[in-house]
Chain A
Amino acid sequence: MLRFVARIGSAIAIFVLLATTVVRAETVSYAFERSTITFTHIARTASGLAVGIDDPAFRSLLKSLGATLTARPGDHTVLITTSAPDVISFGVGDAQYSVGSLTAQARFAPYANGSEVFLPFDDVLHALGVSPQDGVLERLLTSVDVQGYGVQAVLVARGAGVLRPRVVSDGPDRVVYAFDGVGTTLAPQRAISAGGIRNVLITSSGTARDPQTLLTIELAPNTRHDPPQSGSGEFEVAFGTNGSAPPLVEPLRETVAVAPADMGTSSPSPEPSASPGGTATVNGVSVQPTNDGGQSVLIAVTGNAAYEWHRLRAPDNRFWIDIEGAQLAGGPLDQAEPNPLIALRVRQIDPQTVRVALSLAGDTALDVSPSATGVSVTLGTAAVADNAPHSGTGTVGTVVSASEPQTTVTPVPADEYGAPNDENSWKFGPQTYVPTNPKLIVIDPGHGGSDRGSMHGDLQEAVLTLDMAQRVQTILLARGWQVKMTRTVDHDVDATPASTQEAIRLGHDNADAYALQARDDIANEAGARLFVSIHCNAYLNSGPNGVTVYDSKPIDAALALAMDRTIALAGLGVKDDGVVKSHLYVTMHANMPAILIETAFLTNPADYAKLSSSDWRQRMAEAIADGIDRYAQANPVPNSGE
């Protein structure tokens, strides 16, 4: 009834709500974490207590649970991000609320009283994984999942706030963890049989004021486990048989058994729809010469899919085709191709779309047609006709005749590809650059001085990048190049007039706030041929590894590709993560072809070992120098005598 009224008219509804259901403002107190917490923005409605979001005790409860609240006065939505993290969303006047991807029905709809939104007290606590009863706010263990990866398994426990259990016992047949101050309503037992875990037992003990939950994991013989890890919102332990190290680094994707029993609304959401977008699969892309000196790009597609293609004339000379509703089988592809092509890129650009992009050597005629096996793009040697379409659409699959030509011409959608006059866009950026000093390469050792970059173990990025950069410098000088370093010591790069101006424009009192522009200024003012920035990657956990070449502008692409190929084939033992386009500052603001090489991950143990080795850094430096040579040989500067 309340919900119905509230949806008719907000002013009337709130008036009715306040006039009829709120008895009086009051306070309520609970024991929580061995102290007393008193809520003062409390209203008693016919359907239960409401708490105002500006209540200091409510804010302090959120903080102690590692949750944050986003709401501005006047907003109709109140958002709480839990430590899990899940987002709890309440809407004023709507009794439905959501936790992650689950929705639930509150006892009554949140309402506004002045500028403060009042939430149904029991529901918001439940969503936070806290149970109010008998004068005690009890934190709950809300879920225990086991994800199996063959002979290995990862147990993940989640609850209100950060869980830091004690190890009660750790024997060959069982491990017992105690969660002090945490209660639970989870089912007491479940059989698992994955990764050496036989059973998981969950038992409550302790008192109402001082609850405790015991988690007992019964193990098969010869099962080992990692030390537990407590993340921001979860507690996890990896188990494995076979005597091998458990798989906390890069677990496999398959989930053999996720075993939630009674998890309530604050349980983790089901696996999101990460991939199943379309019904079609792009199985591969091949390039074959045609009889008349052109090239034919054959995109093998099975299933039904629509496609849309676009081409950009000179000076961009780019073509791309998006296969909609399609999944890419195998990994992304980046490869150089013979005339009239330059390069081919294949990517899953979003969960529903596979993009095949071509760099073209010139403004040549091309034809896009569906074929029996997919789509073919045929590039001729003749120049494109003035009135030839710039884009088109079509379909592949059983519903379409294999010979049906595509005819529809659509304009380039500005949202999807950026405004046509946008210089920052991949497709529309400057295509040419003529160095005033074709023999000069600028090498940029990342970070330095006050900026240490990423640090891990005994290694500091600022030190490693300078070391590798100096090795590259030595090699390039020996090969007849000129080299300018953005820094030669472990100092900050000095501010330049341009970088200072940018810092002032953005209101910074410190000119060093624009340290990256200063690096670009060194290369831009010297008219260097190439700008190569050397870095080491890092992440919040140890999983990601490998070498990545980042580029930003169209003129960076050939250098990035040549560098990535060279490093990948140099036998450095580091995974090739390919070329990644991004809006990185140093590559974006260097006038010349520029790349940023993240040589390896400091946070991955195997990569860390490589970065620790001076022999490996020397070989990486040689590969970088080889990549520069490879690019330069394939892309001579006009009229430079090369």
Chain B
Amino acid sequence: MTAPALTAPSYDDVRAVTDEVWTTLLGEAAPLIDRLVPVGTPFDSVGVWSAAVTVSGGWEGSVTVELTTYVAGALTTTMLDLPHDAEVSDADVADAVGELVNMLGGNVKSLMPGPSVLSLPSVAAGRAAFSSDAREVARVEATWDGEPVRVTVHNSTGETHR
């Protein structure tokens, strides 16, 4: 394939995908609101969950989401239809955050030339770490209910020819 393929999704598309996934999972009562964050700023560090999926094939890259404990908890209770102040286990939060990044990843994958394969999500309590051969190509910075939310898309820049 020698067509001049798209190498990165646009910010606007990633923002729209994020908004759509977010609104569908969490409802419209509190929207995602954009915020300005200088490039290279680490995700606000208090209590944090992060999750990532990788895409390989026609496009090589990864999609990562970072959330505060509060936002991850609200996502989990909403998806499980529990009261907002319900106790949720780490396993439940990991499951919900994993599904969130799966949806984001699948939709970002569809923005790019395919066919590609989406990995299963990997979820961690803590900030995301990125390998040095990954290049950030889009980053959505937002707040939800006053707390930060970040979605990052990376291109794998290593040799990816199969």
Q: Do A and B bind each other?
A: no
